[in-house]
């Protein structure tokens, strides 16, 4: 792994600019690695392969803004999407970013964030920087399932507090929610609808079917509970399964 992300050259967007309208939405990464270790995520397998030491690395604000200034001069983009798993939440980094981005880049942006990192200062600084939408991966409102199967320890109270802060600060947000989880019931879906309906600033709920990625704890869980066979796991590990959620049965 490369420890110093600032040492990496800026991406060569000319490889794609004939096929993608970069002026509409410029994609950029603030970091590599993720501070969380969700059982279903491909990042979980990467973390296990690389080890925990220095797995999460963040670019400096100066390096990030330098790329955005350069690319804005070339592509005149109207929006930025920070596509890292979670947006940096260090307050010193975020305060510097908020000021520099607003003054030097000055276009709306979207990003992913984790509910554990959200407080009033976080939402305020994001809003002042020009953030127009924050996406939170909730995945399920069943706390037991979310903790024991998905490997996510945050409580519904924490999720409620983050979404409520977005309402209070008029920050639009999106929700990631996974269908077809092991042991999920129809009542869980009903509970999710009731939970999300409490908030006015959720403008989209993005739903996904569970995908079983190679070398993840989720794949092991599904095998231990006899949702999938060893042959299925072997095929997944060799890249021979395309519909990786097709064999999950209730």
Comparing 49-53, 90-94, 209-213, the range with the smallest average pLDDT is 49-53
Name the H helices within 57-211. 61-75, 91-104, 120-129, 143-148, 156-168, 186-196
Residue with the bigger pLDDT between 248 and 63: it is 63
Q: What was the pLDDT predicted at 88?
A: 94
Cβ 55 vs Cβ 2: under 8 Å: no
pLDDT single digits (tens) 194-236 = 999 999 999 999 999 998 888 899 999 999 988 889 998 999 8
DSSP letter at 204? E
pLDDT single digits (tens) 93-137 = 999 999 999 999 999 999 999 999 999 999 999 999 999 999 999
Q: How far apart are CA 85 and CA 51, in angstroms?
A: 18
Domains of the chain: 5-210 (3.80.30.20), 213-250 (no CATH)
pLDDT at 250 over 70: no
pLDDT at 247 over 60: no
Residue with tokens 């097709």: 246
Partnered with residue 204 across adjacent β-strands are 174
Instruction: State percent of the chain over pLDDT 70.
Output: 95
Confidence tier at 242 by pLDDT (50, 70, 90): low
Cβ 112 vs Cβ 139: under 8 Å: no
DSSP letter at 207? E
Q: What tokens were used for 220?
A: 């092991």
Partnered with residue 81 across adjacent β-strands are 27, 110
Give the Cβ contact number of residue 114 at 10 Å. 20
Cβ 76 vs Cβ 23: under 8 Å: yes
């Amino acid at each position: 792994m490369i420890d110093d992300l600032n040492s990496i050259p800026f991406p060569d967007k000319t490889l794609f600019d004939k096929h993608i309208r970069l002026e509409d939405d410029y994609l950029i990464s603030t970091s590599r690695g993720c501070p969380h270790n969700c059982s279903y995520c491909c990042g979980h397998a990467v973390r296990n392969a690389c080890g925990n030491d220095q797995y999460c690395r963040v670019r400096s604000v100066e390096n990030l803004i330098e790329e955005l200034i350069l690319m804005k001069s070339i592509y005149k983009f109207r929006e930025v999407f920070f596509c890292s798993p979670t947006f940096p939440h260090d307050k010193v980094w975020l305060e510097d970013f908020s000021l520099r981005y607003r003054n030097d880049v000055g276009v709306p942006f979207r990003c992913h964030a984790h509910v554990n990192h959200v407080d009033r200062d976080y939402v305020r600084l994001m809003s002042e920087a020009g953030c127009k939408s924050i996406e939170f991966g909730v995945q399920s409102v069943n706390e037991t399932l979310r903790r024991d199967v998905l490997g996510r320890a945050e409580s519904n109270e924490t999720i409620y507090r983050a979404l409520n802060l977005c309402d209070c600060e008029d920050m639009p947000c999106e929700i990631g929610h996974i269908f077809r989880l092991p042991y999920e019931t129809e009542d869980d879906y009903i509970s999710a609808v009731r939970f999300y309906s409490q908030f006015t600033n959720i403008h989209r709920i993005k739903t996904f079917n569970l995908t079983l990625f190679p070398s993840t704890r989720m794949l092991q869980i599904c095998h231990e509970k006899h949702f999938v066979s060893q042959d299925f796991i072997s095929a997944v590990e060799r890249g021979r399964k395309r519909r990786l959620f097709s064999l999950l049965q209730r």
